[in-house]
Amino acid sequence: ERYVEYDFTASLEEKLDEISDGKLAWKDVLRDFWKDFSGAVDDIKELRVTDVLDALNDELAPLVFPEREDGSNPRICPTCGTGNLSLKLGTFGA
């Protein structure tokens, strides 16, 4: 989350402006960024794709599969009526 938060990106943008103005050395900024970022990458690189998809299914379920007025399961397959819909990876996208 940190790398997409407003404060982080605003701070990075300020540093990039200072680099372009010659006030900061780009190698120093990149080294500082990479030190934290590589640690974050190390923390998540061992995650399995199925674990990530399961977490996304749980987080996005209310948006992708909103509750139905009749109270029935919104994930029931509309074709067969028995399967459950979920996020999956495929050859042509997710």
Cα gap 32→76, rounded to integer Å: 48
Prediction pTM value:
0.49
Q: Where are the domains of the chain?
A: 2-44, 48-94
3-state secondary structure of 19: helix
Calpha distance 45→41 (Å, rounded): 6
Confidence of residue 87 (pLDDT cuts 50, 70, 90): confident
pLDDT digits (tens, 9 = 90+) for 36-85: 889 888 888 888 888 888 899 889 988 988 999 998 999 999 899 889 88
Task: Compute how many other C-beta atoms are within 10 angstroms of the C-beta atom of residue 61.
Answer: 16
List all residues 6 or more positions away from 77 whose beta carbon is below 8 Å from its beta carbon. 83, 84, 85
